[in-house]
Amino acid sequence: MENVKTLGEFIIDKQQDFPGSSGEFSKLLSAIRLASKIVSNKVNKAGLLSYIVGAAGSENIQGEAQQKLDVYANNQFIKALTARKVVCGIASEENDEYIPINNEGSYIVAMDPLDGSSNIDVNVSIGTIFSIYKRVSPVGSDLTEADFLQKGTEQLAAGYVIYGSSTMLVYTTGKGVNGFTYDPGIGVFVLSHPEMKFPTNGKIYSMNEGNFYRSSNGVQEYIKYSQTIDADTNRPYTARYIGSLVADFHRNLIKGGIYMYPSTDNAPNGKLRLLYECNPLAFIAEQAGGAASDGKQRIMEIDPTDLHQRAPYFTGNTHMVEKVESLIASEG
Ligand code: P6P
């Protein structure tokens, strides 16, 4: 294990990036690290533990059947974050209302504890997505919804955990993006992908093309653009869609590409949730030299009005996001 930096060491090294934080922020990231290990352990056994796999018999606010692993992951992250006493409240995809934790805490967490959970039973990679803010209400007071309805530009940190062929934790605190791979043999995340950046040119596009005719003309034009043969601009692009946001985003971050979940005629605001899917991945995308948009504006500039609001979403290489934005703009 010579010359290997663990996530724990990395968090401590970077602590000076948070002047005035007496290690509170490090405690928060350590709680996420712990819960990620616990969830990874269960996800990797999902097929074996019949009590884990399959629907929990309940539904989340979106009316989606909650998988038992959803509920398990949600509980593990809430428990770990509560134990560290630095978090004042949590907004989770799995909870209709925000969860007050500790009025003395300074930090807000918005999370999708297990995104893509419909893929659990078919053994496809799934992920956790998290976003961290400073509360806006005074420490010691009761939380208000305003503490959660902050623009993505106010994020202190954001990241995701991908439970795939290996488990990785990728996060940013606004000073670049770093990826850590979990070594279950010794129970530590080790720095495996320092200073992650999108490759200069992306040529992968990720979208559920079943929505092609439900999408706007600009989006349809972009799909056709991606499929057009033009050697000078590396086209046709390659279509890759896993149907698990974290997996599609992570592949595009490493190989270059764009992920799109546009507005459709049956879902005018798209499917993805602004607070705990779009904004955290947008922070990472921008820190990695990419972009994230709702098709018309920088996604992190959107002023949220609801915990679970959705937004059309385009994220990845800047040249690809800008191209689809220009085609949407020319729709008139
Ligand atoms: P569709 C999973 O439910 C999710 O939120 C993302 O992880 C994924 O990219 C998307 O929805 C898939 O949605 O409509 O293509 O099945």
Q: Measured in angstroms, how far is the CA atom of residue 80 from the centroid of ligand 1?
A: 27
Mutate to test the pocket of ligand 1, among 61, 69, 208 (most ligand atoms within 8 A of CB): 208
Average pLDDT over residues 36-49: 85
255 contacts 197 by C-beta, under 8 angstroms: no
Alpha-carbon distance of 264 to 126, in angstroms, equals 24
| Separation CA 101–CA 119 (nearest Å) | 30
Distance 27 CA to ligand 1 centre (A): 31
Q: Is the pLDDT of residue 188 over 90?
A: yes
pLDDT of residue 21: 62
Assigned CATH topology for domain 7-193: Fructose-1,6-Bisphosphatase; Chain A, domain 1 (3.30.540)
Q: Which CATH architecture has domain 204-329?
A: 3-Layer(aba) Sandwich (3.40)
Separation of CA 117 and ligand 1 centre (Å): 9
Measure 28 CA to ligand 1 centroid, in angstroms. 28
The residue nearest atom 9 of ligand 1, judged by CA position, is 245
One-letter amino acid identity for 27? K
- Residue 55, token pair as written in the block: 């629907």
Protein residues whose CB sits closer than 6 Å to any atom of ligand 1: 115-116, 118, 208, 243-245, 248, 271
User: Hey, what are 163's tokens?
Assistant: 């439970």
Kindly compute the dihedral angle of the four CA atoms of residues 192, 196, 198, 204, in this order, to the nearest 10 degrees.
30
Question: Per-residue pLDDT tens for 232-258?
Answer: 999 999 999 999 999 999 999 999 999
User: For the chain, what are the domain ranges?
Assistant: 7-193, 204-329
Exposure string (b/e) for 141-154, b if CB count within 10 Å is 16 or more? eebeeebbbbbbee
pLDDT of residue 118: 85
**Which residues, 6 or more positions from 275, have their beta carbon under 8 angstroms from its beta carbon?**
91, 110, 131, 148, 304, 307, 308, 309
Render pLDDT for 125-171 as a digit per residue (tens, 0 to 9).
999 999 999 999 999 999 999 999 999 999 999 999 999 999 999 99
User: Which atom in ligand 1 lies closest to the alpha carbon of residue 248?
Assistant: 9
